[in-house]
Structure 1
Amino acid sequence: MDLLKWSKRPAAGVDAKKPEVNVLRGLIARATTPLLPDDYLHLINPLWSARELRGRVVEVRRETENSATVVIRTGWGFPETYRPGQYVGIGLQVEGRWHWRSYSLTSFGDTHDDTISVTVKANPDGFLSTHLVDGVAPGTVIRLAAPKGDFHLPEPPPDSILFLTAGSGITPVMAMLRSLRSHDTVLDIVHVHSAPTRDDVIFLDELEGMDADLLSYDLQLQLTSVDGKFDIDQLDVVVPDWRDRHCWSCGPVAMLDAIEERYREAGLRDQLHVERFAIARTDVGGEGGTVTFAKSGKTAEIDGATTILEAGEDQGIVMPFGCRMGICQTCVVPLAGGYVRDLRSGEEHREGERIQTCISAVSGECTFDL
């Protein structure tokens, strides 16, 4: 057993589809120390890495004027299966810096052909989303984080479902719909989706095709430029039996807040499943300050709206992250010194506490052992 551990250790940290492969990689690593197999294999194929998950962009397919589907061939160690509705972390090197964000998978859970897809809407304030939609070229090698998230259908799924989506909130639900259709799963589904115009509806042709072909799928488009924004008070009229359905909802913060409140008032909060792409930040004042990353020897002056996670990534530091919304706890690290402020509640945290870097900003000054 000790010999086995000794041989595997240099290649540990990434789950292999065949665990015995790690033993072989570990033995090669011992034989080539101080170099690891990656130092040679990346010259043959950049996707052969035991140190990190990687992928290569295969295709960028335009969906609307400001959104595109990015098809990625996954490298060694990427999970063979995942749940439709989960998200994946993507790291892209731009101008010498690695930028990380999480995006919902629009492929539906089977990587038998070693490809996955994400559909990204370019945000005017989103550096990476804009680059993925307009600037990433096929053949680009990217870093990946394994799929995560609790926003997915159970097994077996409920007989009747309500999807409430808006804008790019369609993306995780699209993975669910594609999975259900591929497995010929017949469910009673009502789908209310909002977008400014028909030209802004991501996957419009596919959604309308399912609406025409499947008696069990009812698509109701809310074109906000004509019909106005979806009002939760319309629910009794639009979906009279909504109380009998389990609901999956994804979209803007205000819309999700209203839906959560309605389900809570009806005593049905356990029937509602929500995916948020942004955190609701408070208006509690904060002037920012100085953040120090002690192990990296880097310091940054940031404003009160920039998160510790964003500040670290801007400095080129590899920061732990997951959902980037304060839900999954992947980014939690100890605060070595100073103070930070929770952007959602305004609550201040001090030295010795463990904080979520994705929803915390500096309050005066703070230090992390990163």
Structure 2
Amino acid sequence: MAGPTLLTRIASVLLHPLTPEDVLGLLDPVRSSRQLRGVVTAVTRETAGTATIAFRPGPDWTAHDAGQWARIGVDVDGVRQWRSYSLSAPAGADPEITVSDIGVVSGTLVRGTKPGDVLFLDLPEGDFTLPEEPRPLLMLTAGSGLTPVMSMIRTLVPRRADADVVLIHSSRTPEDALFREELAELADQFPGLTVHHRYTATDGRLDLTTPADLEALCPDWRERAAYACGPAGLLDAAEALWCAHAGEDLRIERFRADLTAGVAGAGGRVTFEHSDVEADAPGDVPLLEVAEDAGVAAPSGCRMGICHACLTPLRSGQVTDLRTGEVHGDPGELIQTCVSAAAGPVSLAV
């Protein structure tokens, strides 16, 4: 037991101020004790404005379940930004995300990512997953809402002879339909998958104010476990239809951003998500001090906004920069907790 410990100490002395892990990170970009990473292995153009990005994650990655999502970090103009993306690869495979060119971060990923690039990662999350017991399924999706469902289809249909899945997917035109060719091939190869495309530019939107449209495509829809993912209008309509005609056997995946504007000096309730701790924060006290007072082991360094050692992902809410009084914050933004105060309710990934 003494041998490795002695070698580690010698290596630490010789490499100072680097650590052995830092040197390993230079040799393999996904190795890091400080931040989970993944190296991009392939970029596939799906449509004119979307791309699937495959990556090999570091050793601390946890294999995802079909339908889950993960937060992905990318540096934009020198600032690390985080966004949540559904994982489109089947469970057990190396992860992939399918991204639409909407917004700064997604646009950077779609237009600028290439094999060999490094992404920053959080572990997979989410309970929009397949049922534990085999059941007939109905998948109702639109646009990029197909992404987590595609992970489910890729996981279930080729692996189970008893799979029974009906997919109803809406897109503007055939050219905008994600995974259209792959879905056609899967439906031809596996009788357990039925795919219905609705192209809203020519067919109009699926009408869910009554069961008629749904019954024409899937007569036994009430007997199936249903999943819906897509724009808010589709999900609200589906929720109302199921509530009125089919009970509660519908699972919905929504993606929401906290759009509530912060107020300088307001303070608020702070949630430290990884530590499962909540605390009230005055509007003029650094979040780092709030964390420490609450017993949360938050990263820190100079404590004056210079070294950036305290950078922490903002999950939701906004903060006040105590140096300038500016209120700012987007989900995924890295904030300096030593010079940031709560400008309303805040959630931090620490």
TM superposition score category, shorter chain reference: 0.7 to 0.9
How do 1:1-370 and structure 2 match up within 5 A? 28=8, 32=12, 35-79=18-62, 81-111=63-93, 115-123=94-102, 126-158=103-135, 160-232=136-208, 233=210, 234-266=213-245, 268-269=247-248, 271-279=249-257, 288-290=262-264, 294-295=287-288, 297=305, 298-299=321-322, 301-302=326-327, 308-310=329-331, 313=333, 316-317=334-335, 340=344, 355-356=346-347
TM-score scaled to structure 2, two decimals? Answer: 0.74
C-alpha distance 183-106 of structure 1, shift in aligned 2 (>3 A): same
2-side partners of 1:44 and 1:36: how far apart? 13
Q: Quick one: which amino acid aligns to residue 12 of structure 2?
A: T
Deviations 1:239-286 (A, max 9, x none): 2211100001100011101111121223522x11111133596xxxx7
2-side partners of 1:195 and 1:211: how far apart? 18
2-side partners of 1:169 and 1:109: how far apart? 18
- How far off is 1:195 after superposition? 0.2
TM-score scaled to structure 1, two decimals? Answer: 0.70
1:46 is paired with a residue whose SS is coil
1-side partners of 2:287 and 2:48: how far apart? 43
The answer for unaligned runs of 5 or more in structure 1 is 8-23, 320-334, 341-348, 350-354, 359-369
C-alpha distance 255-178 of structure 1, shift in aligned 2 (>3 A): same
2-side partners of 1:127 and 1:102: how far apart? 13
- Aligned CA-pair RMSD: 3.1
2:129, 2:152 within 8 Å by CA — same for their partners in 1? yes
2-side partners of 1:153 and 1:211: how far apart? 19
2:142, 2:170 within 8 Å by CA — same for their partners in 1? yes
- State how many pairs are aligned: 291
The farther-off stretch of 50-59 and 145-154 is: 50-59
1-side partners of 2:119 and 2:98: how far apart? 16
2:49, 2:100 within 8 Å by CA — same for their partners in 1? yes
- How far off is 1:136 after superposition? 1.4
The farther-off stretch of 160-169 and 48-57 is: 48-57
Q: Quick one: which amino acid aligns to residue 87 of structure 2?
A: L
Deviations 1:131-186 (A, max 9, x none): 1111112211111111111011022331x110000000110010111111331342
1:253, 1:280 within 8 Å by CA — same for their partners in 2? no
